[in-house]
């Protein structure tokens, strides 16, 4: 499995590489970071970026063993929701994660970077799970647990539970490299 993180201007610096490194320590997938993309301009009626604006800027993916996830520092909105931490469009093999609400004023200054990397890694892995067909999980510690608030993200681990791993093992084997 290959997952490419597409950072936008609002999520630049070393953060995308730190997130990819954290994910490599969890799963034996190929995690890569693509060149930075320009931030989309929000619609006038809202400060948040609509998910469709982000997905339209990502490359098309047709292989079932290749996923792309946008990473942006702007607030992200989806149809019917004011904001989301992340969003997955399985039919496109693409998703997006917003860093905007993954930082809290209560985060200690020294811990802020580490917490942001951990939270973002959880959200990227969560959206990757959706891209592979997983639904939200009832296990409080599973990365596939729905996060409504930041505390929900902090409670869960950055890994799939046994039940979700079993479900993932049922997915078809990747085709040979061409």
CA distance 165 to 71: 24
Q: Answer whether residue 7 is part of any domain.
A: yes
Q: Answer whether residue 163 is part of any domain.
A: no
- pLDDT for 178: 30
- pLDDT for 48: 86
Q: Answer whether residue 62 is part of any domain.
A: yes
Does the pTM exceed 0.85?
Answer: yes
Q: Answer whether residue 142 is part of any domain.
A: no
Q: Which residue numbers are catalytic?
A: 127
CA distances from 154 to 67, 99, 150 (A): 24, 14, 6
CA distance 29 to 8: 22
- pLDDT for 64: 79
What DSSP letter does each residue of 54-91 carry, written as one string?
A: HHTTSPP---TTEEEEEEESS-EEBTTBS--SEEEEGG
Q: Answer whether residue 104 is part of any domain.
A: yes
- pLDDT for 175: 43
* Residues comprising the chain, all counted: 178
- pLDDT for 111: 84
- pLDDT for 44: 54
23 Cβ contact partners less than 8 Å away, ≥ 6 residues apart? 3, 29, 31, 121, 124, 125
- pLDDT for 45: 57
CA distance 60 to 62: 7
Residue 51 · residue 69 · CB < 8 Å: no
Tell me which residue range forms the domain holding 112. Answer: 2-134
CATH at 57: 3.40.390.10
Q: Answer whether residue 70 is part of any domain.
A: yes
Chunked in runs of 10, what are the mean pLDDT values of the chain (178 residues)?
Answer: 96 93 95 95 74 94 90 91 90 95 82 92 97 96 95 96 93 48
- pLDDT for 30: 96
Number of domains in the chain: 1
- pLDDT for 80: 80
| Residue 112 phi, psi (nearest 5) | -55, -50
Q: Answer whether residue 146 is part of any domain.
A: no
Q: Answer whether residue 107 is part of any domain.
A: yes
């Amino acid at each position: 499995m290959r997952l490419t993180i597409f950072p936008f201007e609002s999520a630049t610096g070393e953060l995308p590489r730190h997130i990819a490194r954290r994910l490599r320590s969890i799963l034996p997938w190929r995690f890569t970071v693509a060149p930075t993309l320009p931030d989309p301009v929000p619609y006038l009626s809202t400060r948040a970026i609509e998910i469709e604006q982000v997905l339209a800027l990502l490359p098309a993916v047709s292989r079932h063993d290749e996923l792309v996830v946008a990473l942006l520092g702007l607030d992200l909105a989806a149809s019917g929701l004011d904001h989301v931490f992340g969003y997955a469009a399985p039919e496109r093999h693409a998703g997006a994660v917003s860093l905007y609400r993954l930082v809290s004023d209560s985060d200690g200054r020294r811990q802020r970077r580490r917490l942001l990397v951990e939270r973002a890694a959880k959200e990227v892995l969560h959206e990757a799970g959706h891209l592979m067909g997983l639904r939200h999980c009832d296990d409080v510690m599973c990365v596939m647990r729905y996060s409504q608030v930041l505390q929900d993200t902090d409670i869960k681990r950055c890994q799939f539970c046994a039940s979700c791993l079993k479900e993932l093992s049922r997915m078809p084997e990747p085709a040979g490299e061409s």
